[in-house]
Amino acid sequence: MEPIVIVGGDAAGLSAASKFKREHPERDVVVFEKGEYVSYAACGMPYYIKGAVEEFDDLLQVPPEKLIEDRDIDLRRYHEVVAIDTDAHEVTVDGPDGEFSQPYDQLLIATGARAIEPPFEGMELDGVHTLHSLDSAKAVHDAVRDESPSAVAIVGGGYVGIEMAEAFDAHDVEVHLFEMLPHVLAPFGEMVAEHVEEHLREVGVELHLETAVDGFSGTDGRLDGILAGDERYDVDLALVGVGVAPNAELASEAGIDVGETGAIATDEYGRTSADDVFAAGDCAESRHVVTGAPDYVPLALTANRAGRAIGQTMAGDPTPVGDIAGTAAVKAFDLEAARTGTIDEDEAREAGFDPVSITIKSRSRAHYYPGAEPIHITMVGDRDSNRVLGAAMVGREGVAKRIDTVAAAVHTETTVGELEYFDLSYAPPFSPTWDPVLVAAKVLNGKLD
């Protein structure tokens, strides 16, 4: 029998490989990875640049030797799959010794995503960076350490932009953050964004909202400024973090369906339109648990969970990859921001709901216990079904994990009334008697009635 072949050696790919090998240790599993690094913590890269993660190797989760020797996975780094023939059940691989064909029994495409590089003038200048691979993280880390920049421009106010503002600030660098939209962290909603923006200004980040970047200027091939909003700002390092794009070209060129999001279309088991071919991770679509529509939210848990499920399906036990709610948290200096489900009322209406939203202010601990901090929550419910559709939160503590309670309610189609009566834990150092989530549900339920 031909081997299981996996394209991509990070979260989804290696989760699938490891799960399949546990179920069928006698079968061959070949993992092709075009780069040097496998099984790494991409989400930790800003904290490595900041200095909170001291060693580069700390970002490497499972050494290649362990994958090969302990898990008996045929891992081949520096091997790029350049074509897939779904009729012949084989892939074409470009390796150190040239091209060759590799037959497969079943195939998983886990090619991930790449940082979007806008067509800005000056993107090629030394000092202009993106951040998605470990190589890029090391390049930014070394530039901060070796070049001691005095001013940095960040383009994009999403996860990467906010986390990198904190990372650069830790090195006493003047930070300019440019966002073409009215607010940072657009998926988190206006309430969260405004609190984060206020805090960013308090800590000294120069925000340039509703400001489109035109390009970069340089001298002798080296960055010396950013051009934005009819102004020029002196900077000696720039990070472009405007999002990622799925690496779906390999699948598309093989005739495999790509969805409207630009990622590879899959069913509930991660199967693509081609027989015996699966896709997972940052290159693949998922189904949104609220809207029921295909969505593209590239996050670490989604990739790991889908990869493991596909490994089990390949092994003969069909296992759904699971729906997504877009649950996410981000650290913005001293603030925590989090979101789950559908919080945009227009999106909810498009999905057939009659959304109602409320915003409340509560506290992270009992009011009399030292250190209690405000928590602001926006929660959205459906007037017709009373179902919890989503929530967004912001505060200095107790936010990043509280969102998980709402995520659980979203996944189980819990009603707002039911959430109001969840038996959540209480102790003065951790929560008021009525947890902020319960307060939000209570207020929202009253409005839905």
* Catalytic residue list: 43
Q: Is residue 188 within 8 Å of 327, Cβ to Cβ?
A: no
Q: Is residue 248 within 8 Å of 235, Cβ to Cβ?
A: no
Contacts of 189 (CB under 8 A, 6+ apart): 339, 343, 344, 378, 392
The closest alpha carbon to 339, from 323, 350, 328, 353, belongs to 328
Measured over the CA atoms of residue 79, residue 81, residue 82 and residue 88, the dihedral's sign is positive
Burial class (CB in 10 A: 0-12, 13-18, 19+), 55: exposed
The closest alpha carbon to 328, from 391, 252, 398, belongs to 391
Residue 297 vs residues 103, 280, 367, 438: alpha-carbon distances, Å: 31, 12, 37, 27
Q: Which residue reads 């960013």 in tokens? A: 200
Q: Is residue 56 within 8 Å of 74, Cβ to Cβ?
A: no
Residue 24 vs residues 11, 315, 319: alpha-carbon distances, Å: 20, 7, 16
Give the CA-trace dihedral at 305, 307, 308, 314, to 10 degrees: 140
Q: How far is CA 325 from the centre of its chain?
A: 12
Radius of gyration from C-alpha coordinates of the chain: 23
